[in-house]
Amino acid sequence: MKNYTILAIETSCDEVAAAVYNTEKKLLAHRLYSQTEHHKQFGGVVPEIASRSHMVKINGIIEEAMTASGCTLEDIDIIAVTSKPGLLGSLLIGISFAKAIAGSCNKKLVAVDHLEGHAFSACIENDIPFPFLCMTASGGHTSLYRVTDYGKFETLGTTMDDAAGEAFDKVAKMLKLGYPGGPIIEKLAGEVNFEDFFDYPRNKMNNLMFSFSGLKTAVLYDLVKKDAYSMEEKSLLTEDMNLKKQVASSFLNCVADIFVGKITRALQEQSDYKAIAFVGGVACNTFIRNQIQQRVANKYRIPLFFPSPEFCTDNAAMIAFVGHYKAQREEFSPLDFEVY
Ligand code: KG4
Ligand code: ZN
């Protein structure tokens, strides 16, 4: 294995992140600036605000990560950067920066798929045996992968409509709880002991595909039926905290059941998995983690891995990790690589 030091840059959505990774010493440093505060008032990410903020912050975040790693630009051999998928304006800030350093300082460039980053994010801190089943659930994506080696993964199922994190955010918006929805819904559900009050419909599809829009609509119409929500004014009519907690808890139970059901089904379809990884922003959710642990991992006696919360949500460490194994295989990218 060649000894490389990599600077990784991630700007696909509303986080600007940088990491420095070395073959022998592994992750040296990673830094991130989250724009959640800028987007809160809009209840979701506003692409134009995201890319403008990246432009202001990117230099400082890269400098912080470089300083923390103890490396200078001369020590860096390779620049890894998220090339897809993401918000185009946001991606282009990171990519332009990466290309500028690569071009002017004569460094090699590795373009990294953001989803591949998430898929291997649990490998940053753990040695996970192959093949493993990877459940990715974030604000923009929900997919099940069969991972057979570094860089080798097959999509078994994905969402047909909303991503799981998006459903958390939209239900929280419906309940006037704020953004991002996941942590707020989890906290409120805990206050009513994670009980299931309303038994929202579970996804009954006979395959490994996901759907969260029906659940979201069920929550909405249930609130309308309770005279708690006005479709005309598109707004919640009540500040009944207890009702909000019950809806949050029932919604969370439903999402957990969906994950448990699909992961179980995937294990039944192919029995050679040596581990399960649960990754992406939604994997920060302790209730869902525990449900998968108890109802799937313990039952099937298969180890379950999740990244630390800082590597669940968007980060550059996962881009550095993937960039590193791609560099070892000499999978370098030309300066005009594809972006989407
Ligand atoms: O991975 P990430 O930064 O987004 C994308 O790459 O798309 O994850 C952000 C998403 C948001 O939708 C947020 O609501 C959700 O992850 N999230 C959670 C929790 N923490 C963050 N969802 C459920 N429970 C949580 N504790
Ligand atoms: Zn992501």
Ligand 1 atom closest to 140 (CA): 7
Is the CB of residue 86 below 6 angstroms from any atom belonging to ligand 1?
A: no
Q: Which CATH architecture has domain 5-120+313-328?
A: 2-Layer Sandwich (3.30)
CA distance 281 to 310: 9
Is the CB of residue 285 below 6 angstroms from any atom belonging to ligand 1?
A: yes
- The model's pTM is 0.95
pLDDT tens over the chain, length 340 residues = 999 999 999 999 989 999 999 999 999 999 999 888 887 888 778 898 889 999 999 999 999 999 999 999 999 999 999 999 999 999 999 999 999 999 999 999 999 999 999 999 999 999 999 999 999 999 999 999 999 999 999 999 999 999 999 999 999 999 999 989 999 999 999 999 999 999 999 878 999 999 999 999 999 999 999 999 999 999 999 999 999 999 999 999 999 999 999 999 999 999 999 999 999 999 999 999 999 999 999 999 999 999 999 999 999 999 999 999 999 999 999 999 989 8
Q: Which top CATH class is 128-306?
A: alpha beta
Q: Pairing relation of β-strands 5-10 and 15-22?
A: antiparallel
| pLDDT value at residue 311 | 98
Ligand 1 atom closest to 255 (CA): 23
Find the ligand nearest to 141 CA: 1
User: Do 5-120+313-328 and 128-306 fold alike per CATH?
Assistant: yes
| pLDDT value at residue 338 | 85
Give ∠ CA 307-215-139 in degrees, rounded to 5: 35
The DSSP call for residue 74 is: G
Is the bond preceding residue 131 a cis peptide, omega within 30 degrees? Answer: yes
CA atoms within 13 Å, Cβ hemisphere of 102: 24
Helix axes 213-225, 241-269, angle to 10 degrees: 150
Q: Which of 120, 141, 168, 179 to mutate to test the pocket of ligand 1 (most atoms within 8 A of CB)?
A: 168
Ligand 1 atom closest to 164 (CA): 12
Give the Cβ contact number of residue 253 at 10 Å. 22
| pLDDT value at residue 325 | 98
What residue ranges do the domains of the chain occupy?
Answer: 5-120+313-328, 128-306
Is the CB of residue 117 below 6 angstroms from any atom belonging to ligand 1?
A: no
| pLDDT value at residue 160 | 96
